[in-house]
Amino acid sequence: MSTLLTNVCKQYDQGKTVLKNVTAEIETGEFFVIVGPSGCGKSTLLRMIAGLTQISDGEISIDGQVVNNLPPKDRNLTMVFQSYALFPFLSVWDNVAFGLKARKHDQSEVEERVNNALKMVNLEDLKDRKPRELSGGQRQRVALARAVASDAKICLMDEPSSNLDAQLRIKMRQEIYALQRKLGITLIYVTHDQVEAMTMADHIMVLHDSKVQQIGTPAEIYKTPANEFVAGFFGVPPINILYATKISDKAIRVNNDFQVDLDQTVTEKELKVGIRPNELVVEKADELSANATVQNVEFLGDEKIVYATFSNGNEVSAIVPSDAHFDMFENIKISSTNNVLLFNQDGINVTANREDLINA
């Protein structure tokens, strides 16, 4: 009883491939986030699950039934659009009741469901208003209420919070998460925001370049990214990717500069190393022992981000305690702990604890 995607492909007539061989299993009742940069095909994938876009190849099945050719209404799902898609000529109440009425539920049931849904999103007082009389956050709540009121077991959301300001977004994030848990529905959520993906998801699918890069829990994705792209996509500031050369079985030289001793043996002579900003060690240094120059320092309250350039021009960012003091253009010496990720030349993760990794 889950949603299964098997080798789903999408090609447009002009021959442009949007999605290639997407395979995934979305379990019933889980919060599944599809994340990726703009244009990676994540919305297309969602629309294909909804049935709004035809799939070119592969198979989508919901609860054991192949739905490839089923119209959207027979797939028993609801969708919250990025733009909310509210009917401007209907009141909030009628907007929420719209689908239920169309599906010919009886009057008393419609009323009960709509009122409950409005209560759940705290919109009871505004039920007679028109969408134009609502703020952005309230409009989004109406769109949510519409999904809540429906008896569909799968809810699809296409970047529902992208039109909200930062603070409201965090609030809606929590509300959506709480609603999903309360209702026990399967939620498939599309976003380009890695923070949203990390904070809400049970499982994350990372899409890039029309392909699934990795599917896993937020912790798996962060700790054992399948490749360089996934590593770079999660984490703020992003992971530093630097070139490294093998100097012995268990040691590498990073950026032709500092040495990192590893717990594992390395086979490749040339590789890339991914170092999270908080794994970099930054020290003040005199001109002779320094290997980098501070370019900018951002104060975040409990920590500082130091942006620096190595002598060979490569840029890095490092997180330092907020009481550490660095000036712009100051000479520093950067080194790293051995908690790093190793990638081969093709960007594939070759770090030792790879057996934990759940790959697509």
Residue ranges in contact with another protein by CB under 8 A: 50-52, 71-74, 77-79, 81-90, 98-99, 102-103, 130-134, 139, 163
Q: How far apart are alpha carbons 98 and 146 in whole angstroms?
A: 8
Smallest gap from Cβ 249 to another protein, in A, equals 57
Instruction: List phi, psi (to 5°) of 77.
Output: -140, 165
Q: Which is nearer to another protein, 36 or 131 (CB)?
A: 131
Q: Which is nearer to another protein, 90 or 357 (CB)?
A: 90
Smallest gap from Cβ 71 to another protein, in A, equals 7
Smallest gap from Cβ 84 to another protein, in A, equals 6
Q: Which is nearer to another protein, 61 or 163 (CB)?
A: 163
Q: Which is nearer to another protein, 77 or 294 (CB)?
A: 77
Smallest gap from Cβ 72 to another protein, in A, equals 5
Q: Which is nearer to another protein, 146 or 276 (CB)?
A: 146
Q: How far apart are alpha carbons 188 and 79 in whole angstroms?
A: 9
Q: Which is nearer to another protein, 88 or 313 (CB)?
A: 88
Going by C-alpha positions, the residue among 189, 240, 244 that lies closest to residue 218 is: 189
Q: Which is nearer to another protein, 52 or 352 (CB)?
A: 52
The structure tokens listed for 289 are 């022992």
- Residue 221: partners with Cβ closer than 8 Å, 6 or more residues away: 198, 204, 206, 214, 230, 234
Smallest gap from Cβ 88 to another protein, in A, equals 4
- Measured in whole angstroms, how far is the alpha carbon of residue 59 from the centre of its chain? 24
Smallest gap from Cβ 154 to another protein, in A, equals 11
Q: Which is nearer to another protein, 60 or 86 (CB)?
A: 86
> What are the b/e assignments for 141-177, b being 16+ CB within 10 Å?
bbbbbbbbbbebbbbbbbbbbeebeeeebeebbebbb
Smallest gap from Cβ 156 to another protein, in A, equals 9
Q: Which is nearer to another protein, 78 or 291 (CB)?
A: 78
Q: How far apart are alpha carbons 106 and 92 in whole angstroms?
A: 19
- Residue 269: partners with Cβ closer than 8 Å, 6 or more residues away: 245, 246
C-alpha distance across the termini of the chain, in Å: 20
Q: How far is CA 16 from CA 10, 37, 41, 47, 57, in A?
A: 9, 18, 12, 17, 14
Q: How far apart are alpha carbons 110 and 90 in whole angstroms?
A: 16
Q: How far apart are alpha carbons 313 and 15 in whole angstroms?
A: 40
Q: What secondary structure letter does DSSP report for 190?
A: E
Smallest gap from Cβ 96 to another protein, in A, equals 12
Smallest gap from Cβ 180 to another protein, in A, equals 18
Residues 46 and 34: beta-carbon distance below 8 Å: yes
